[in-house]
C-alpha cells in the first residue's frame, strides 16, 4: 500500500514537471487573433535544446525550431488572408493546441485611465451607450486581451492571468470602451476579425511606457536601478510599465498602435511631444515592422484648476497639453490624432462619451491605413493666419467639405495686438475662403488669435462631417 502511494506521488510529480517542459507566452491563448498576411511570431519556453514543432491548420504547414540555452524558443508562422476559426498545434515534450484562432487585424492599445476604462464603465462613472453596445456585441468577430497591470524594475519575460476573449454579452463589458468602439467600426466596415491588445494603466505618465533607450535621450528623466521588485500600484516611474506590460509582448504581430494618454503628463508639457516621439520610435524599432500606424486621442477638456498648483506658469494647462499633442504629429511619421474637444466634462476627467473617441480613431485607420475614401476622417487643423487691416483671417488644412459652426455664433475666439493682451473677439466663417475671420474693435492691428484655449470648453467649430477643430493659438507667447 505504501509503495503504491509512493508510486502515485512520483507519477504526479513527474506529470507536473513534464507539464512545465513546454510553455507558451501568456499572450497566446484560445480565441486569439493573429495579424493577417504576415510572419507572425509565436514564442514560449521549453527544456533547453529541445525541439519544438508548430503546425497551423489553415495551411497544414509545419515549422520547427530548437529552444536556446535558456529554454526560450520563437517561431514565425505565415498567416493567410483574414479568416478562421483555426487551430495551432505546438509539439514538444507534450502537445498544446490553441483553438478558435482567427486571422485578422490586430491593434495594440496603450495609455492611461481613459484607455483603460472598460465598456461597462468605472464604479459611479458611466460610459454612454454601454448597455446597448454590450447587448449588441453578441456574435461580433471582435476579440480582446487585457494585459494585467504591473510595474516592474526589470523587464519581465511574461505576464500572468491574461487571456483572449471573444465578444459576447458576458465578456464585452471588460473590453476597453475606446477600443471596443474602434474595433466594432473596423469590423463592420472591413468584415474581418479584429483583435485588441489593451496594455494601459490609469494615472500613468508617458515616461513609464518608455524604454531605457528612449529615456536616455532626456537628461531630466531618471531611470530607476534594475531590481526584481514589482508592484501593481506604481504607474508613473520611468520604464516600469514598459518593463511589466509591454516587454512581455514585444513583437506580437500588429497592424498599428492606439494611444490615449496625456492627463498625467501635464506637469512637464514642453517635453511631452518629444517624449512620445522617442517612445514610438523605440517601439517601432523593437517591433521591426517599420513605421506602423500610430493613432492617438487628444485629451478632452476638463477643469484642471486644482492641478495648477504645480504649474502656475500655465493657467490653462490642458490647452497647452492639447497643443503639445498637436506637435507630436510633426515628430512622428505615419501618425494622426482624434480631436475630442466636444466630448469633455468640466468636472469629470473620465468623460462618458467614449464612442466618439473610439470611432474617430477608427475613421483614421479606415482612411489612412485601409484606404477607404468618401468621408471626413480628420479634423480640420489650424494652418496659418493672415492679417487684413484690423481682421485676422485663420486658415485650416485637412478640410473635407469646409467648416461649420452648426448655425451657432462663434464665441471662443480671442485676439491680441502688440500688447499681447487677448480680448474676446467676433468671429465668423468666410465660406468663400473656407477660413475664419476674427476681429475686435479693441485690436486695430492683430498679432495673434487663440481658439478655445482654455482648460474646459465645448467645441463650436467643426468640419462639415462633424469632427471638431482642436483648440489652438497662432502665437508662441508664454
Q: Which three cell numbers stand for residue 312?
A: 502656475
CA atoms lying within 13 Å on the CB side of residue 383:
12
Residue 294's pLDDT is what?
98
Cα of 163 vs its chain's centroid, Å: 19
**Distances from the Cα of 36 to the Cα of 40, 43, 61, 193, angstroms:** 8, 18, 16, 10
* pTM, two decimal places: 0.95
Asked if residues 24 and 62 have their Cβ atoms less than 8 Å apart, the reply is no
pLDDT of the residue at 454: 96
**Contact present, 234 and 240 (Cβ < 8 Å):** yes
Length reported for the chain: 478
Rounded distance, CA 90 to CA 97, Å? 6
* CB-CB contact of 195 with 253 (8 Å): no
Question: What pLDDT score does 14 carry?
Answer: 39
Residue 296 near residue 325 (C-beta atoms within 8 A): yes
Question: d(Cα 360, Cα 470) in Å, to the nearest integer?
Answer: 13
pLDDT at 28: 98
384: how many CB neighbours lie within 10 A of its CB?
A: 11
Residue-level pLDDT, tens digit, the chain, 478 residues: 444 443 334 344 333 334 458 999 999 999 999 999 999 999 999 999 999 999 999 999 999 999 999 999 999 999 999 999 999 999 988 999 999 999 999 999 999 999 999 999 999 999 999 999 999 999 999 999 999 999 999 999 999 999 999 999 999 999 999 999 999 999 999 999 999 999 999 999 999 999 999 999 999 999 999 999 998 888 899 999 999 999 999 999 999 999 999 999 999 999 999 999 999 999 999 999 999 999 999 999 999 887 766 667 667 899 999 999 999 999 999 999 999 999 999 999 999 999 999 999 999 999 999 999 999 999 999 999 999 999 999 999 999 999 999 999 999 999 999 999 999 999 999 999 999 999 999 999 999 999 999 999 999 999 999 999 999 999 999 7
Amino acid at each position: 500500500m505504501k509503495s503504491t502511494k509512493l508510486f502515485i506521488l512520483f507519477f504526479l510529480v513527474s506529470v507536473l514537471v513534464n507539464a512545465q517542459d513546454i510553455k507558451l507566452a501568456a499572450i497566446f491563448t484560445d480565441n486569439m487573433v493573429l495579424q493577417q498576411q504576415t510572419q507572425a511570431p509565436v514564442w514560449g519556453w521549453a527544456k533547453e535544446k529541445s525541439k519544438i514543432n508548430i503546425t497551423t491548420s489553415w495551411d497544414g504547414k509545419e515549422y520547427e525550431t530548437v529552444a536556446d540555452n535558456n529554454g526560450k524558443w520563437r517561431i514565425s508562422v505565415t498567416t493567410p488572408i483574414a479568416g478562421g476559426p483555426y487551430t495551432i498545434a505546438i509539439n514538444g515534450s507534450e502537445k498544446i493546441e490553441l483553438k478558435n484562432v482567427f486571422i485578422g487585424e490586430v491593434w495594440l492599445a496603450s495609455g492611461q485611465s481613459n484607455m483603460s476604462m472598460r465598456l461597462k464603465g468605472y464604479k459611479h462613472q458611466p460610459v454612454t451607450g454601454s448597455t446597448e453596445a454590450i447587448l449588441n456585441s453578441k456574435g461580433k468577430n471582435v476579440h480582446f486581451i487585457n494585459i494585467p497591470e504591473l510595474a516592474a524594475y526589470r523587464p519581465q519575460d511574461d505576464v500572468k492571468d491574461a487571456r483572449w476573449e471573444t465578444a459576447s454579452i458576458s465578456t464585452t463589458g471588460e473590453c476597453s470602451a475606446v477600443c471596443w468602439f474602434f474595433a466594432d467600426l473596423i469590423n463592420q466596415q472591413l468584415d474581418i476579425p479584429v483583435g485588441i491588445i489593451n496594455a494601459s494603466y490609469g494615472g500613468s505618465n508617458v515616461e513609464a511606457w518608455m524604454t531605457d533607450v528612449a529615456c536616455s535621450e532626456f537628461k531630466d528623466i531618471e531611470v530607476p536601478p534594475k531590481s526584481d521588485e514589482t508592484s501593481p500600484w506604481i504607474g508613473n516611474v520611468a520604464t516600469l510599465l514598459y518593463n511589466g506590460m509591454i516587454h512581455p509582448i514585444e513583437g506580437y504581430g500588429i497592424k498599428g498602435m492606439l494611444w490615449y494618454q496625456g492627463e498625467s503628463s501635464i506637469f512637464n508639457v514642453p517635453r511631452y511631444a518629444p517624449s512620445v516621439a522617442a517612445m514610438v520610435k523605440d517601439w517601432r524599432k523593437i517591433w521591426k515592422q517599420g513605421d506602423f500606424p500610430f493613432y492617438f486621442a487628444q485629451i478632452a477638456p476638463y477643469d484642471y484648476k486644482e492641478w495648477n498648483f504645480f504649474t502656475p506658469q500655465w493657467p490653462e494647462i490642458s490647452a497647452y497639453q492639447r497643443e503639445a499633442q498637436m506637435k507630436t504629429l510633426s515628430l512622428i511619421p505615419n501618425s494622426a490624432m482624434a480631436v475630442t474637444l466636444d466630448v469633455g466634462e468640466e468636472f469629470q476627467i473620465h468623460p462618458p462619451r467614449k464612442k466618439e473617441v473610439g470611432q474617430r480613431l477608427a475613421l483614421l485607420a479606415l482612411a489612412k491605413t485601409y484606404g477607404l475614401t468618401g468621408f471626413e476622417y480628420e479634423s480640420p487643423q489650424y494652418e496659418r493666419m493672415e492679417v487684413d487691416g484690423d481682421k485676422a483671417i485663420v486658415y485650416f488644412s485637412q478640410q473635407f467639405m469646409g467648416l461649420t459652426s452648426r448655425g451657432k455664433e462663434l464665441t471662443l475666439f480671442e485676439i491680441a495686438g502688440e500688447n499681447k493682451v487677448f480680448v474676446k473677439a467676433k468671429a465668423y466663417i468666410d465660406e468663400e475662403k473656407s477660413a475664419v475671420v476674427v476681429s475686435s474693435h479693441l485690436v486695430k492691428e492683430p498679432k495673434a488669435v487663440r481658439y478655445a484655449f482654455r482648460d474646459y470648453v465645448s467645441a463650436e467649430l467643426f468640419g462639415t462631417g462633424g469632427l471638431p477643430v482642436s483648440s489652438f493659438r497662432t502665437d508662441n507667447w508664454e
